[in-house]
Amino acid sequence: MHHRKPNKQELKKRSVHILFCLIFICLLCFPQTARTGAYAGMTLWANTVIPVLFPFLLASGLFASLGMASGKWYAVLLGFLCGYPMGAKAACDLVKEGSVTKKQGQWLMCCCNLPSPMFLTGFIRIPAVTWAVYVPAVMLLIPVFFFPEHKKRKLSSESHSEDLPGIMPLLEQAMDSSVKIMIKIGIYMMVFSILSVWIQTFHFLSPFMRTLLPGLSEMTIGINAAKNAGFSMRQQAVLCAIFCTFGGCSGLSQTKSVTEDAAFSMKFYILIRLLHVAAAVIIICCWHFE
């Protein structure tokens, strides 16, 4: 009897089923590790991410509803000041508003979706990492200067006032969207924090790999591990630069979550992130540490 060969979609579905089964088995076999990772992720989300990110999410949602999220530099400013994943969210808003094309929004997301300078200087406190993250990002911004301006269709003041809802409906709409995004971010942080803590229990791995792999899963946990692992300053800088420029699987998932409406290509985004990682590592290797 001839058996039909499973197509790509079926193989992907089976792989997801196997992955979820493995995760469930790991949760049953290592409940304490799962609890520690979930607590670390939820604590980081509640104490750091919500107070810093939620107000900006709410404000950007209101700007988009009022038609104020316009201009390519809106994404640049919001992304550089607020960090992950606000650069991606701003680029998505611009595409929805018609201020930039989808390709331009995709490039803006790659340029601006990075940790904020406050995070780099206040939490990591290694100057080489700040330079390694932002010098390639500024170079990526050069094509943005040549983006043509897109003029949106203007409404008359009379029709605009009729179509524009009151401030409370707009606020509630922005709140609903922001809360939904924050919940997704929290879940992603919890899941990948569990994975990071679980990897750190693999004692057959070298100390370097037990720091690198968790950081590729969840950026902040990897940075903490790198700072406390007893590595040299150059090794710490290399690891932190990799985590910050790549963003971790948690950061990638958050980025995909906030850009669903624009349907950006995640493959292209990951490619740019990997090139950014390579450039950052080169800068760190050339940096003179005392």
Angle at which helices 72-82 and 50-65 cross, to 10°: 170
What single-letter DSSP state applies at residue 77?
Answer: H
Q: Quick one: pLDDT at residue 149?
A: 59
Q: Indicate whether 5 belongs to any domain.
A: no
- Distances, alpha carbon 202 to alpha carbons 14, 188, 209, in Å: 27, 22, 10
Burial of 154 (0-12, 13-18, 19+ CB in 10 A): exposed
In whole angstroms, give the CA distance from residue 221 to residue 90. Answer: 26
Q: Indicate whether 158 belongs to any domain.
A: no
pLDDT by residue (tens digit) across 211-268?
A: 999 899 988 888 888 888 888 999 999 999 999 999 888 888 888 888 888 888 889 9
pLDDT by residue (tens digit) across 259-286?
A: 888 888 889 999 999 999 999 999 999 9
One DSSP character per residue, 93-159 reads: HHHHHTSS-HHHHHHHHHHH-S--HHHIIIII--HHHHHHHHHHHHHHTGGGGGPPP-PPPPPPHHH
- Dihedral sign from CA coordinates of 188, 191, 197, 198: negative
Q: Is the pLDDT of residue 42 over 60?
A: yes
Domain assignment of residue 218, given as a range: 32-147+165-286
Q: Indicate whether 10 belongs to any domain.
A: no
Q: Quick one: pLDDT at residue 146?
A: 72
Q: Quick one: pLDDT at residue 152?
A: 52
Q: Indicate whether 281 belongs to any domain.
A: yes
Q: Indicate whether 157 belongs to any domain.
A: no
pTM: 0.79
Quote the number of domains for the chain.
1
Mean pLDDT of 104-126: 84
Q: Indicate whether 171 belongs to any domain.
A: yes
Q: Indicate whether 109 belongs to any domain.
A: yes
Structure tokens at 194: 């569990």
Q: Indicate whether 17 belongs to any domain.
A: no
